[in-house]
Amino acid sequence: MERMSVKLFKDQYAWIRMTRENTFRCCELVQDEEYRQELNGFGWASIRDLHVHVAECYQNWLAVFGLKEAMTIVTPEDVENVNDMRRVFSTIDSLVARFLEEFDGQNETHICGKVPWQKEEESLSVLWLYTHTTTHEFHHKGQIVSMIRQLGYTPIDTDLLIPDDVETYFSKK
């Protein structure tokens, strides 16, 4: 497979961050108590808990497994509301930047390490680690939107923005 540069991944991650901001804005429709409220039918209990799960996935796979960094992993108790979650994800953004810089052009490089739920070590490529964490976030974003609907709200569109919408949409902040 052809090596891809860190610029391509950084550009892609910028789009992921814009989509995440849409998800945060969607979460702001609900009250803080509802953000933390357990809902039936979802394995991660509350919107907040699901958001925390997404963040800890980045922390575990990119920092602990990929970069071999010791890290305090975020827990639901660390987050009371959407603004707290935004702060957590600002640290995730820095983590992703470090990961991409460290492995610039090394997408097929394999990293070996222990995975807590396995006996044997795992060997995973840099591209797999990045792809898994970002697609994992999008998977759970869909669940978060469903949870917001279950609470009786009409969520805003959280799909990936088209380029023409970016400047207009984010200049309204």
Q: Give every CB contact of residue 20 below 8 A, 6+ residues apart in sequence.
A: 89, 137, 141
Alpha helices in the chain (DSSP H): 6-27, 32-36, 47-58, 82-102, 126-150, 163-170
Instruction: Judge whether 51 lies within some domain.
Output: yes
Q: Give the pLDDT confidence of 81-102 residue by residue, as tens digits.
A: 999 999 999 999 999 999 999 9
Mean pLDDT, all residues of the chain: 89
Q: Give the pLDDT confidence of 127-137 residue by residue, as tens digits.
A: 999 999 999 99
Residue type, 1: M
C-alpha angle with apex 95: 99 to 160, nearest 5 degrees? 95
Helix (H), strand (E), coil (C) string for 38-78: CCCCCCCCCHHHHHHHHHHHHHHHHHHHHCCCCCCCCCHHH
| pLDDT on residue 4 | 65
74 vs 11 pLDDT, higher one: 74
Q: Which residues are annotated as a binding site for a divalent metal cation?
A: 53, 136, 140
- Across 61-68, average pLDDT: 97
Residue-range definition of the domain harbouring residue 14: 6-170
Q: Report the domain count for the chain.
A: 1
Residue with tokens 């222990």: 114
Instruction: Judge whether 1 lies within some domain.
Output: no
Q: How far apart are CA 61 and CA 65, in angstroms?
A: 5
Q: How sure is the predictor about 118, in pLDDT bands with cuts at 50, 70 and 90? A: confident
Q: Which residues are annotated as a binding site?
A: 53, 136, 140
The CATH number that applies at residue 87 is: 1.20.120.450
Instruction: Judge whether 158 lies within some domain.
Output: yes
Would the pTM of this model clear 0.85, i.e. be above it?
yes
pLDDT above 90: residue 156:
no
Instruction: Judge whether 12 lies within some domain.
Output: yes
